[in-house]
Structure 1
Amino acid sequence: MARGTVKWFEDVEGFGLVAADDGGPDLYIGSGDVAAHDSVLAEGDRVEFEVIVDIKGPHARHVRILSDAIVAS
């Protein structure tokens, strides 16, 4: 699983971008890609995700917000 920081997320439109810790390109996040569908992403959230590459290019999937305890480790 990759980790990164949410750059922005537009809850009404249902999409945003995450900056991966590995320095790669920013990755698209759709609201359907958030693991807990009741979670709302916000700028600055630390997240863990899978990188999927398809015809649209790389994007984040199975995104979940990391708790403070996980981030500190």
Structure 2
Amino acid sequence: MPVGKVKWYEPTKGFGFLVAEDGQEVYLPASALPSGVKEVRAGTRMEFGIAEGRKGAQALSVRILDKAPSVARAKRKPAEQQAVIVEDLIRLLDGISDGLRNGRYPEKRQSAKIATVLRAVADDLDA
């Protein structure tokens, strides 16, 4: 059976394309995906059968070999660096909590910066 990677897949349209190791582009319909799989990401390695359809090569009975690597996971900081960032964030939030206890929210510009830092740390942790 040929092996290839998902070039792109659009779950709302129900199809996409694979690129076989020999460079051939193969149509990937949703019906060829394994049961329970609703979508696949670009770069996912698959083994598949090929049949000639009206519009060219079409994948049949796809089997996922390797999922696409997570870009977010590959870009996140080492755990030791993340620990320092989290400790700094805790100190920052402690300072804000003092103001909140006294009935004061941080100024809008400071709030936006804090929210950005919180989102960045959450994204790194969630990757």
> Same fold judged by TM-score > 0.5?
yes
TM-score, with length taken from structure 2:
0.48
Number of equivalenced pairs: 66
Runs of at least 5 residues in structure 1 that lack an aligned partner in the other structure: 69-73
- For 1:1-73, what aligned pairs fall within 5 Å after superposition? 1-24=1-24, 26-34=25-33, 36-39=34-37, 40-67=39-66
Larger strand fraction of residues: 1
Q: Which has the higher contact order (CA 8 A, sep 6+)?
A: 1
TM-score, with length taken from structure 1:
0.80
Cα RMSD (Å) of the superposition?
1.5
> SS at 2:19's partner residue?
strand
Aligned partner of 1:71 in structure 2 is none
Structure with max Cα Rg: 2
Give the fraction of aligned pairs with identical amino acids, expressed as a percent: 36
Larger helix fraction of residues: 2
Amino acid at match of 1:5: K
Runs of at least 5 residues in structure 2 that lack an aligned partner in the other structure: 68-127
